[in-house]
Structure 1
């Protein structure tokens, strides 16, 4: 199959960029794949990109030229924010090519993109025809102006039917799919398919396990980092923290006061995997709606259970006593109770959960499984576009 994959890179690399790169590499193994990318910029150049994203003729022309040259059977878009803009969806549709788009976040529904603001879930935009509440609160970078500009852009494209130009949307979970379907986006439910992310398997497995827990990810409020630090400051169990972000100083302060809290900074995947593999469990204390955290899939791939918040898509990934345990989000006592519950399991119980976790990975999140689902969605989009 001839597949054109389009993506706009963020200023700082993130999970969406990783998924784009992994899926492109996977599909290129036995398909003809062409890549078209855009790059978000900083400063005044970034401001110009933001303003032009309403109707970026230059980006649209690039897409049309690439389609003419490559002649794809299907186009798959990952991110349009903000260097390319929603107009590229219209460009693909005008060229008569079936279009698939992955919904890595909730930007089509709310300027916040993550449905989180001011230390709590923010869901008002889901049922508003125009996100006035989000604008008043400045949910994007705490700026009323930035929030308004983004809201106006996405509302405008909603009004002129841009989002309905997509033949198939890929949601990462059933939870995400239902949010989109039950919102004011007004896109037919049949256009949404579910395909989780994937990770490549690890060849070697560790035979021995350590007694530490591990956290990997951005050091930000919505990730529940402060609750995690508070929980482990009350117990002697060791936790390794890997990542970077605005709460780095808080992590360093907690580590300096508590010998059991170890901050390792930023690490590469090759450095992280052995640490995850040996860990008693990965802890994911998020207090927002995660998409499909790669850290969880990587933990599953090496048989490491996950203790995580009972919220959003995490409820589909973390199956109590099968792939891990759930606790209440923003609840330190619940975190502590769950850690204690895991420690109380005997060796056989822990071994069985590790095995189930590994089986769950091989049944759902391998490259082969992912490619099969992707190609099926592409064929669905091709079929629908001919109607």
Structure 2
């Protein structure tokens, strides 16, 4: 099968880019795969990209030329924000090529993309035809213009029926599918299919449990890292923080004032795998609706249980006393109580939970399982087009 992947890269490489590249690498083992990619830039060129967001004719022309050259059997779209925009979908439809799209976030129904604004879950856009409340709150990068223009871009294409031409939408969880089903997106749920992300299995020698916890991820408000550390200071448990982001300075200051909190900065994949494998548990304190945090998948692959927020998909992925524990990230007392509950468990119980984590990984999040699901989706979409 000849597969063309379309992906708009962000200015800084993130999880969506990583997931896309992993899938593309795996697909190339059995298929002819090509990539059409553009990248968001800064400065006046970035403003021009944003202004063209709703109707980017230059990108349509370039993409059509790529399609005519490669002649794909199927097209898989990952991200369109913002140098690409959705206009090309209408023109691919005229070319008769089946299309599917992975929805890594909620941008098609809310400019925030994360359904998070100023420290809280933000669901107003789900029930609004046009996301005026998001615009009033400057839900995207604290900007009236960016929030309005992003909301307008997807609103106008919903009105034009652009997204009705996508043959299949891939969401990462039943939770995400439920959000779209309750929204004003307007596309039949029959077009939605759930397929999670995967991580490659890593092997670490002698993964003996240590006496510390690990946080791996972006240091930003929606990840809940600062409230977690404020709660953590009331305990004598050790935690290592891996990652960078806009709250790095605040995290460094908190770590400097606590002997049990250690900021490790950015580390390579091998180092992270070793630290996760030896940790007592990985902590995921997000206060937003995650799409599918790779840190949970990486922990499961290394037989390390997860202590996570009882929010969104995390409450689906983490089963209390089976693969970890859940806590209320807004309640410091609950955070401390769950840490104490975790440390009171026997070594045998924790080892058994680690095995459950690995079983979940093999069954749901391993590369062979997830890629088999993706190839089945491709086959079904291609078969429907032939009929």
Q: TM-score, normalised by structure 2?
A: 0.98
The yes-or-no answer on 1:123 pairing with 2:103 is no
Verify the 8 A CA contact 1:53 1:85 in the aligned structure 2: yes
Distance (Å, rounded) in 2 between the aligned partners of 1:129 and 1:323: 39
TM-aligned CA deviation for residue 381 of structure 1: 1.9
- Where 1:334 maps in the other structure, the secondary structure is helix
Instruction: Give the aligned partner of residue 296 of structure 1.
Output: 296
Cα deviation, residue 57, structure 1 = 1.3
Structure 1 residue 293, shift from structure 2 partner: 0.8
Cα distance between partner residues in 2 of 1:96 and 1:207: 51
Q: Distance in 1 between matches of 2:91 and 2:305?
A: 44
The C-alpha deviation readout for 1:91-129, integer Å capped at 9, x for no partner, is 221211110100001000101110000110100000000
The answer to which of 347-356 and 51-60 deviates more is 51-60
Once residues 177 and 205 of structure 1 are traced to their aligned partners in structure 2, the CA distance between those partners, rounded to angstroms, is 39
| Map of 2:73 onto structure 1 | 73
Deviation at 1:232, TM superposition (A): 1.2
* C-alpha distance in 1 between matches for 2:185 and 2:162: 11
SS of the aligned residue for 1:335 comes to helix
Alpha-carbon offset, residue 73 of structure 1: 1.1
Quote the residue 1:162 is aligned against. Answer: 162
Preserved contact between residue 213 and residue 238 of structure 1 (Cα < 8 Å): yes
Q: 1:134 is matched with which residue?
A: 134
Q: Deviations over 1:213-254 (max 9, x none)?
A: 000111111111111111211111100001111111111111
In 1, the alpha carbon distance for the partners of 2:288 and 2:252 equals 23
What is the rounded CA distance, in whole Å, between the counterparts of 2:180 and 2:383 in structure 1? 22
Deviates more, 1:184-193 or 1:241-250: 241-250
**Aligned positions of 1:328-347 closer than 5 A:** 328-347=328-347
User: What pairs with 1:1-387 in structure 2 (closer than 5 Å)?
Assistant: 1-386=1-386
Deviation, structure 1 residue 63 = 1.8
TM-score normalised per structure 1: 0.98
Alpha-carbon shift at residue 296 of structure 1 (Å): 0.9
* 5+ long unaligned stretches in structure 2: none
Question: Which whole-Å deviations, capped at 9, do the CAs of 1:250-280 have from their partners, x for residues lacking one?
Answer: 1111111101000001112122110000000
C-alpha contact 1:199 1:367 (8 A) present in aligned 2: yes
CA contact (8 A) 2:199 2:367 kept: yes
Displaced runs of 4+ in structure 1, greater than 4 A? Answer: none
Tell me the distance in 2 between the aligned counterparts of 1:361 and 1:206: 20
SS of the residue corresponding to residue 264 of structure 1 reads strand
Q: 2:204 touches 2:274 (CA, 8 Å); kept in 1? A: no
Secondary structure, aligned partner of 2:235:
coil
Tell me the CA shift for residue 377 of structure 1: 1.1
Distance 2:385 2:120 in 1: 40
- Partners of 1:191 and 1:206 lie apart in 2 by 45
CA contact (8 A) 2:110 2:134 kept: yes
Structure 1, unpaired ranges of 5+: none
Task: For residue 286 of structure 1, report the CA deviation from its aligned partner.
Answer: 0.4
Contact map agreement 2:228 2:329 (CA 8 A) in 1: no
Q: CA deviation at 1:329?
A: 2.8
Secondary structure of 1:262's aligned partner: strand
The 8 Å contact of residues 112 and 140 in structure 1, kept in 2 or not, is answered as yes
Question: C-alpha distance in 2, partners of 1:17/1:207?
Answer: 29
Contact 1:205/1:277 (8 A) holds in 2? no
